[in-house]
Structure 1
Amino acid sequence: MSVKTVLITGTSSGIGLATAVATARAGWHVVATMRDTAKSGALEAAARDAGVSLQIESLDVTDPSSVEACLAGLDRLDALVNNAGAGHVGTLEQESVDDVRAVMEVNFFGVLHATRAALPLLRTSKGRVLTVTSVGGVVGQPFNEAYCAAKFAVEGFMESLAPVAAATGVSVIVVEPGAVASEFVSNVGVDDDALDKAGPYAPALSSYLERTRGAFANAQTPQAVAEQLVEVLGAEEPPFRVLTSDSARAFAGTKLKDLDGSAVQQLTRTWVSQA
């Protein structure tokens, strides 16, 4: 049997880096992509330490021409892992609509660009699309309005696409981590200066940040998430939704059984309370 090929977006750090190395160790030919290949040093070092080789390519998910150029260089593709994304903390009154659009471009439209370009190859291989979303695609969270909106959009899009893609032999799966210890958190740009500018929202933002730091202190590792992604890639009949930890399952479960929304509101209000 020929070696299967997987393309992974956003592999310069975090879940993407760990998944690229883990899938290569599992015997896949890995096309590891990132917007700026000058930032590939950590990935290359991790691959050397693991004794595996990777094909590293430039791909900017927000640029359809970049996506198409990268996919055009592939003779076959058995799986796409949509992992590229960016965190964002803010609230509507204090950010511009352009700020929200930028979040949507990376976290939603980026997924669409990559998936659309990959589908013809995946139909040929009867392959699969794995999209790393978040429990933030299930439960709306304070000060994550734009980020959760993008992840909700991805979840709805993929849930709708799944039966259509399945009719052509392509499996669609969403993978929902909770808190993950990675550079993703440090890249959201919230610091003491943001608190100073929060105005009437400062007390609530302070409470949210304190709660979030506690959650990420006990976060799942990128390697643990990567192991589950590898398992799903190799599963004969993968589920549509994969939650990567017990805490993620409990958190998402609050929403999935909350028919009137009261349980979620009761929970998330405690995140911004001064009590």
Structure 2
Amino acid sequence: MTSSKTVLITGTSSGIGLAAAIGAARAGWTAIATMRDTGKAEALLKAAAEAGVADRIQLKRLDVTDPASIAACLDEVIAEHGHLDALVNNAGAAQVGTLELMSIDDVRAAMEVNFFGVVAATRAALPHLRASKGRVITVTSVGGVVGQPFNEAYCAAKFAVEGFMESLAPVAATVGVDVTVVEPGAVASEFVANIGLDIPALLAAAGPYTSALQAYIARTQQSYGNAQTPAEAAAPIIDALTAERPAFRIQTSQWARDFVATTLADLDGSAVQALTATWVR
């Protein structure tokens, strides 16, 4: 069993999750780096070796949509380390489309990964985090605060996570568990590429939404040209791991702070609607 603090991070094959695992290991934590397909661990293992932290990275399989997989992973962690001090819910999947262009199954799939996966992993980890007086850190998105065109299912799931965690936080605090949400903006990672979008096919099927979708895609491509690096976006996660009392809500950049402030100060919703309307025309 290890004496160092142990953090389990979901979705570490690339992007923010990979960077968070490396950052946590550099900060002295034992990072349990999980992913649905451990055959995709090459980038993580290479980064760990280059950073000199391979001895503090432990790779495990975990599928957040499978309760048995979550339970098996946590059982292994407790058997091997004796404790769990933090959970970082990072695994997620993008979903681009609008209501008439998606099936209900598409919407349910987005909720399954981005919301129910977070709930399931958190629920399973809480008994161990109560024992260690640990913390839950969940990567949401600025899309969990500001609804965004052609991201209805994704934003719905992220809004749900934000509401869930905001409601859980004061209850968890009574048993010594801190709860934090981390809100990135655009991040230069494989997250968007992993959607597997065929843009010409998407536009061809867009019907009356073609013009709006073209405008949205152009705006999105431009925003990702000025994106944060995964390491930059992961840095606040490490801060939340190591802070004595982390804030509940943390944005990963000044841009993200300015963006979510639009909603937080928008009592009637008009400011957000005026902003996002410019994305589709």
TM-score (norm 2): 0.96
Of the three residues 73, 85, 108, the one matched with 1:78 is 85
Q: Which residue is 1:189 aligned to?
A: 196
Q: Which residue is 1:130 aligned to?
A: 137
Of the three residues 251, 262, 277, the one matched with 1:254 is 262
1:264 deviation in Å? 0.4
**Matches of 2:177 and 2:46 in 1, distance apart?**
33
1:39 maps to 2:44: no
Point out where structure 2 has 5 or more consecutive residues left out of the alignment.
Answer: none
Of the three residues 259, 263, 269, the one matched with 2:271 is 263
1:188 deviation in Å? 2.4
What is the DSSP-based 3-state SS (H/G/I as helix, E as strand, rest coil) of the residue aligned with 1:141?
Answer: coil
Q: Which amino acid counterpart does residue 68 of structure 2 have in structure 1?
A: S
Q: Which amino acid counterpart does residue 39 of structure 2 have in structure 1?
A: A
What is the DSSP-based 3-state SS (H/G/I as helix, E as strand, rest coil) of the residue aligned with 1:251?
Answer: helix
Of the three residues 173, 176, 187, the one matched with 2:183 is 176
What is the DSSP-based 3-state SS (H/G/I as helix, E as strand, rest coil) of the residue aligned with 1:223?
Answer: helix
**Matches of 2:173 and 2:3 in 1, distance apart?**
23
1:228 deviation in Å? 1.5
* Identical-residue share of aligned pairs (%): 68
What is the DSSP-based 3-state SS (H/G/I as helix, E as strand, rest coil) of the residue aligned with 2:84?
Answer: coil
1:64 maps to 2:64: no
Q: Which residue is 1:206 aligned to?
A: 214
Point out where structure 1 has 5 or more consecutive residues left out of the alignment.
Answer: none
**Matches of 2:40 and 2:3 in 1, distance apart?**
30
**Matches of 1:189 and 1:141 in 2, distance apart?**
20
Of the three residues 121, 138, 154, the one matched with 2:161 is 154
1:226 deviation in Å? 1.6
CA distances 1:194-233 after superposition (whole Å, capped 9, x unpaired): 1111111010000000001111100011001122111110
Q: Which residue is 1:105 aligned to?
A: 112
1:2 deviation in Å? 2.9
Q: Which residue is 2:241 aligned to?
A: 233
1:84 deviation in Å? 0.1
List, as ranges, runs of 4+ consecutive aligned residues in structure 1 with deviation greater than 4 Å: none
CA distances 1:53-102 after superposition (whole Å, capped 9, x unpaired): 21100000000010011001122100000000001100111111011000
Q: Which amino acid counterpart does residue 250 of structure 1 have in structure 2?
A: D
Q: Which moved more, 1:81-90 or 1:219-228?
A: 219-228
**Matches of 2:3 and 2:193 in 1, distance apart?**
40
**Cα pair 1:122 1:170 within 8 Å, conserved:** yes
What is the DSSP-based 3-state SS (H/G/I as helix, E as strand, rest coil) of the residue aligned with 2:156?
Answer: helix
Of the three residues 55, 58, 63, the one matched with 1:55 is 58
CA distances 1:136-178 after superposition (whole Å, capped 9, x unpaired): 0000000000000000000000000000000000000000001
**Matches of 2:88 and 2:200 in 1, distance apart?**
35
**Matches of 2:214 and 2:34 in 1, distance apart?**
36
Q: Which residue is 1:119 aligned to?
A: 126
1:189 deviation in Å? 3.2
How many residue pairs were aligned?
273
What is the DSSP-based 3-state SS (H/G/I as helix, E as strand, rest coil) of the residue aligned with 2:191?
Answer: helix
Q: Which amino acid counterpart does residue 245 of structure 1 have in structure 2?
A: S
1:245 maps to 2:253: yes
Q: Which residue is 1:24 aligned to?
A: 25
What is the DSSP-based 3-state SS (H/G/I as helix, E as strand, rest coil) of the residue aligned with 1:67?
Answer: helix
Q: Which amino acid counterpart does residue 189 of structure 1 have in structure 2?
A: G
CA RMSD, 1 decimal: 0.9
What is the DSSP-based 3-state SS (H/G/I as helix, E as strand, rest coil) of the residue aligned with 1:183?
Answer: coil
